[in-house]
Structure 1
Amino acid sequence: MKEITFNNFYQLYQKESLSVLDVREVEEFEALHLEGARNFPLSQLADTYEQLDKTQPYYVICKYGIRSAHACQFLTEKGYDVINVPAGVDAFE
């Protein structure tokens, strides 16, 4: 699984337009999220992942990195290019 540290991710995020998937639940996402991030809750990912574009990379975040790791594993198996951000939104707070 590809990973990037939160600091490296955040530096890229500030300079480039990245496709960020936040796999926290809707309530968590609404309380705090990175601008431009799309909410794809892990609990619903099996039903919604086909909305994603297989031709672009996605940076996957959650609160601590556990759910994002699960989401990355799932999406990788489905043929998506994903990069896990292990520290997640917790590092941003």
Structure 2
Amino acid sequence: MKTMTTDELLNLLDANEDLNVIDVREDFEVEQGMIPGALHIPLGSIPEHTGELDASKPYILVCKGGVRSANACEYLASQGFDVTNLEGGMMAYDGELEFK
């Protein structure tokens, strides 16, 4: 499984790269802030939302600590998606937050 550090993600965000971030945390967790531009799909809902994702695009998955997003990465990779897990998740992320 491909992984990325939060520093690598912050560098990509600073460079205004076109990123596809999926936050797999629960609703109450994303209320505390999300990575700007991230799409919120709770882990348990991933299988029913795969039809909404574009298999030609790479995705970066994030959760609170990196375990749930790793599980989502394994599932999406088995479905043919190009996915990368954010190491340490939101606990390691100290960049800008977006509130929805």
Fold match (TM-score > 0.5): yes
Structure 1: gaps of 5 or more residues: none
**Match of 1:87?**
88
**Match of 1:74?**
75
- Per residue, is there more helix in 1 or in 2? 1
Structure 2: gaps of 5 or more residues: 95-100
**Match of 1:56?**
57
Question: What is the CA distance between 1:14 and its match in structure 2?
Answer: 1.9
RMSD over equivalenced CA pairs, Å: 1.1
Residues 29-61 of structure 1: CA deviation (Å, up to 9, x unaligned): 122101100001101111112210001000111
Structure 1 consecutive aligned stretches of length 4 or more whose deviation exceeds 2 Å: none
Of all paired residues, the percent bearing the same amino acid is 39
CA distance in 2, matches of 1:74, 1:57: 14
**Match of 2:41?**
40
TM-score, length-scaled by structure 2: 0.87
| Equivalent position amino acid for 2:86 in 1 | V
Is the contact between residue 63 and residue 87 of structure 1 (CA under 8 Å) also seen in structure 2? Answer: yes
SS in 1 for 2:87: coil
TM-score, length-scaled by structure 1: 0.93
